[in-house]
Amino acid sequence: METENILIKDAQILDAHGQRKGSVLIENDKIKEISPSISPEGVNKVINAEGKLLIPGFVNTHTHLSMTLFRGIADDLKLEKWLNDYIWPLEAHLNGEYCYAGALLGCVEMIKSGTTTFNDMYFYMDHVAEAVKESGLRAVISHGMIDFGDEKKRKAEIKESKRIIRKCHGMADGRIKVALGPHSPYTCSRQLLDEVRSLADKYGLLIHIHVAETEDEVRQVKDKYGERPFIYLDEIGFLGEDVIAAHAVWLSSSEIHILRSRGVKLSHNPASNMKLASGVSPVEELINMGVCVSLGTDGAASNNNLDMLEEMKIAALLQKIKKMDPTALDAGTVFKMATINGAAALGMADEIGTIEVDKKADLALINTRRSSITPWRNPTSHLVYAASGCDVESVICNGEILMENDKLESLDEKYVIELAENAAEELISKA
Ligand SMILES: C[C@H]1O[C@@H](n2cnc3c(O)ncnc32)[C@H](O)[C@@H]1O
Ligand SMILES: [Zn+2]
């Protein structure tokens, strides 16, 4: 491969390690050098980052990308009714084409708001992988498995997961990895969860699952298995460092200890938890106990967007009101949740999540000369409390420019919007 290099010149750099000024040289897919000044001689592409803030691309650790097609379809409902009466009946009409269109739309939205890596659980994941490949983004994808105790369904779900692993793991120059996606302890049988654990151990794959999202789920799991969700999962030997659990709202103190001792990673999804009125996760307690808590948007049908800047603000504000303490979940902590903690949750802390030499060049540039973040004083504060996805101007993933000066480079935005609009209309007319 011919060496491609990009120089990001004179940026204000911000990551979990703090703030500094400097230039960043990218060679192929990685950061080669970070110095106060780097000569542009022999460089293929120079980006003048004077007056710009350079941050790591956000890591969104819980998404259902193709659900962009269902945006605004079923608002103002509780999770159970939302899933049973609206979302699952619609999902019965999905196909690969629709999932591809919805995933492309999600990729556009994520690039435009500075996300470079995401953890996605859904259906027709080989079609989703195709969209991710075209977009230039990095993703962990998993087939969402639900068996409701039906043996035939369980076998079919495992078969589909294995097919996706064979077809997509390592795709797009390694930007796409495959994980296992048992939906939740209330939709998956004990046997299915056991098989998932064995496959994860055998192939070294991550497990992505929804757990302890609602009080109703806790009641259901207690009625069926006699224990709260995380205690039940621990008793069956399911939990480990490779598990990333979304939501984790309703937790007892013993469950928090289990999460810590098993090294389970969490994805906190405040907007979705608020919109479905699921509850408020005890994020401050979890972080103080040493649990790795990252941030995710969930799908666009329960959020209703994929903007990690907005999600950071919601996360911070929600903890402050839960604790009635304005010092709770400060801006610096929530920025870490959206970057390095996300990388750690996906087992990629050595590769992404901060701006360091030898890490992947997954970066976003914010234009600091925007009215919403003027006067430019405290970058972390402005990012979390004042900025939104629209303030992201340029995005690089794996050393490729995906957006420059607000123009998408890897995808044709107009085409994607048209494709998704048509797919959504056709799909909804079938239901
Ligand atoms: C993959 C399946 O998961 C469903 N889903 C989307 N969001 C949520 C949520 O917040 N809790 C539980 N299940 C969810 C999605 O519709 C797919 O059926
Ligand atoms: Zn979800």
Round to whole Å and give the CA distance between 293 and 271. Answer: 15
Q: Is 288 exposed, middle or buried (0-12, 13-18, 19+ CB in 10 A)?
A: exposed
Testing ligand 1's pocket by substitution, the residue of 119, 183, 272 carrying the most ligand atoms inside 8 A of its CB is 183
User: What's the gap between Cα 240 and its chain centre?
Assistant: 20
Q: What is the pLDDT of residues 22-58, one digit of tens each?
A: 999 999 999 999 999 999 999 999 999 999 999 999 9
* CB neighbourhood size of 390 (10 A): 14
- Whether the ω angle into residue 89 lies within 30 degrees of 0, i.e. cis, is no
Residue 3 has pLDDT above 80, yes or no: no
> Is 296 touching ligand 1 by the criterion CB < 6 Å?
no
Using CA atoms in the order 139, 143, 148, 151, what is the torsion angle rounded to 10 degrees?
A: -150
> Is 294 touching ligand 1 by the criterion CB < 6 Å?
no
CB 291 within 8 A of CB 266: yes
Strand stretches in 297-353, DSSP E: none
Q: What is the pLDDT of residues 273-290, one digit of tens each?
A: 999 999 999 999 999 999
Residue of minimum CA distance from atom 17 in ligand 1: 122
> Is 213 touching ligand 1 by the criterion CB < 6 Å?
yes
Domains and CATH numbers, the chain: 5-56+353-413 (2.30.40.10), 58-345 (3.20.20.140)
Round to whole Å and give the CA distance between 215 and 79. Answer: 11
Q: What are the Cα distances from residue 86, in Å, to 181, 274, 420?
A: 21, 19, 19
CB 53 within 8 A of CB 14: yes
Q: What is the pLDDT of residue 1?
A: 46
Using CA atoms in the order 254, 303, 55, 268, what is the torsion angle rounded to 10 degrees?
A: 0
Here the ipTM equals: 0.99
Q: Which helix (H) or strand (E) holds 401?
A: strand 400-404
Task: Consult the annotation and say whether 173 binds a ligand.
Answer: no
Q: What is the pLDDT of residues 81-121, one digit of tens each?
A: 999 999 999 999 999 999 999 999 999 999 999 999 999 99
Averaged pLDDT, 209-218: 98
Q: Tell me, in angstroms, the distance from the centre of ligand 1 to residue 381's CA.
A: 32
Task: Consult the annotation and say whether 127 binds a ligand.
Answer: no
Mean pLDDT of the chain: 97
Contacts of 270 (CB under 8 A, 6+ apart): 280, 281, 311, 314, 315, 318
